[in-house]
Amino acid sequence: MHLKLPPPVLTVIGSLTTAGFEAYIVGGAVRDLLQQKDTTDWDFTTKATPEEIQKIFPDSFYDNHFGTVGITGQHLLPVSSKAITKKWLAANWLDQVYEITTFRQEYGYSDKRHPDKIVWGKTLTEDLARRDFTINAIALKIHNPQSTIRNLSASTPIKTEVDIIDPYNGQVNLDQKLIRAVGDAKERFHEDALRMMRAIRLGAQLGFTIEPKTLTAIKQHANLIIHISWERIRDELLKIIASSYSADGILLLHSAGLLEFILPELLETRNVPQAGHHIYDVWTHSLESLRHCPSTDPLVRLATLLHDIGKPQTFRRQGPRGITFYGHEVVGARLTNLIAQRLRLSTKQSQKLTTLVRWHMFTYNPEMTDASIRRFIRRVGLENINDMLLLRVGDRKGGGSKATSWRLRQLQERIGQQLYEPMSLKDMKVNGLDVMKTLKIEPGPKIGQILNQLFEEILEDTSKNNRKYLISRIKKLK
């Protein structure tokens, strides 16, 4: 079989084999190549130990306990030619990290996360046996790898003859679009319980289904996920949410029994009815909103999934057919903040996620003043405005409506008109030093109070943002 491989990849394989070591391409790159997809995720496995790998690649780095040595493309350039460097840069090869891992065997997983013991392996067979899923347990062996070094100054992928080593029929599962565990699924999940989420993440990214026995094993051992750190759970969850089939991924987390350990608040929305323009219950609406959210940002997508999470607690019957959820956005923001803490999101991420949920119920009518538009922008945050509008698109489509409306389009236009007006204290023509100098006072809370009062006036009338007027107002506010 012939495949087109980038020169840096051939450099890695050629250098290792020239030094006398077996070397293979493994992991997601193999999967992508066999599916004729572009890839930037290059992993290699070899019999060489990390120390031996670093002798071959002196500019590499090794800072882990798993035998993985990394080297960037810029340290794989075969020549110093500026023309070649420029072409490699254009091909995005220079900044990529190429990871080389020593054959290894793993023993004991007492914490359901990490192997208790790692032993360097002697064969590729031993190494592939420890991998999670069959589609990730395929290796590529390059024919006559030493000869490829002659062509490494090329600026385009090189047609290369390879052998496919596939002891677990991963190619068959690729064709079948199946995620199947290597060997005994129960053993694989006991080794690392995060693999249960990874199976669903791969399915959501690739549009694959999970092989029945593998799915059954996930359902039987879903509770093992409690042994996994929230940081690792968060990373897999965000990858699922960012995937092409994000809503299906969340559904699969639920049917596999994992969602109750990760987002139990979301499960509370099941069978909560809605009225008015809504055609689904809150659970289905949330999933459909995620499905239709046009943002590629996983944080915005997560906010879209969670935007109505406060509805179960605020559900009220009103009359024979009426239903209300008064204050659900406030309750939802509080729940979202707790979820953000659980997922170990950063302060900035937590604030963004909570803000999007808190203010997603914004309304617009043509009678709104420019000052009202500016207050809306300030409340949501200038950096979040576009994301809020994308959430609204998902919300609308997830409820059975069109992506936009004349009101939403007009609001977007009016927001655009206000973007160059003062939006924060730093846009004012005076600052804290001016307040202290004018009133001859020391630093203290009064300075902030005065600046905030002045800014409220500017929000109402931006013409007041001139230094002469503001200095005169500072004198009166003492």
Distance of CA 302 to the CA centre of its chain: 10
Q: Do 234 and 329 share a structural domain?
A: no
pLDDT for 294: 96
Mean pLDDT of 58-87: 82
In a domain, 360, yes or no: yes
Q: Looking at per-residue confidence, does 135 or 117 come out higher?
A: 135
Specify whether 105 is located in the same domain as 248: no
CATH number at residue 223: 1.10.110.30
State yes or no: pLDDT of 113 exceeds 70.
Answer: no
CB 70 within 8 Å of CB 61? yes
Domain assignment present for residue 215? The answer is yes
Q: Does 43 fall in a domain?
A: yes
The whole domain housing 293 covers 274-418
From CA 326, how far away is CA 311, in angstroms rounded? 8
- Output the pLDDT for position 107: 59
43 φ/ψ angles, rounded to the nearest 5 degrees: -125, 145
453-475: average pLDDT: 90
Q: Give the per-residue pLDDT at 110.
A: 63
Q: How far apart are CA 316 and CA 419, in angstroms?
A: 39
Of 149, 174, 199, which residue is a domain's last? 174
What b/e sequence results for 164-190 when a residue is b if at least 16 CB atoms lie within 10 Å of its CB, and e otherwise? ebbebebbebbeeebbbbbeebbebbb
The verdict on 294 and 335 lying in the same domain is yes
181 in a domain, yes or no?
yes
Distance (Å, rounded) from C-alpha 349 to C-alpha 352? 5
pLDDT of residue 115: 59
Q: What is the pLDDT of residue 279?
A: 83
Q: Please state the pTM of the whole predicted model.
A: 0.86
Q: In this structure, is residue 267 part of a structural domain?
A: no
228 within domain boundaries: yes
pLDDT band at 152 (very low <50, low <70, confident <90, very high): low
Residues 7 and 68 in one domain: yes
**Assigned domain for 85 exists:** yes
Q: In total, how many domains does the chain have?
A: 4
Burial 232-263 (b: 16+ CB within 10 A, else e): bbbbbbbbbbbbebbbbbbbbbbebbbbeebb
List, as one string, the DSSP characters of 86-107.
HHHHHTT-SSPEEEEEE-EEEE
Are 161 and 185 members of one domain? no
The answer on pLDDT for 180 being more than 70 is yes
Per the structure block, which two tokens stand in for 90? 């254009």
Tell the burial category of 311 from Cβ atoms under 10 Å away from its Cβ (0-12, 13-18, 19+).
buried
Instruction: Write the pLDDT tens digit of every residue in 356-411.
Output: 999 999 999 999 999 999 999 989 999 999 999 999 999 999 988 898 888 999 99
Pair (297, 401) in one structural domain:
yes
269 falls within a domain: no
List pLDDT tens digits, range 307-317: 999 999 999 98
CATH of the domain at 330: 1.10.3210
With a cut of 60, say whether residue 151 has pLDDT above it. Answer: no
Same domain, 412 and 439: no
- Which among 231, 262, 293 is the end of a domain? 262
Residues 446-455 have a mean pLDDT of 91
pLDDT in tens, 47-59: 999 999 999 999 9
CA 55 – CA 348 distance, rounded (Å): 42
pLDDT above 90: percentage of residues in the chain:
66
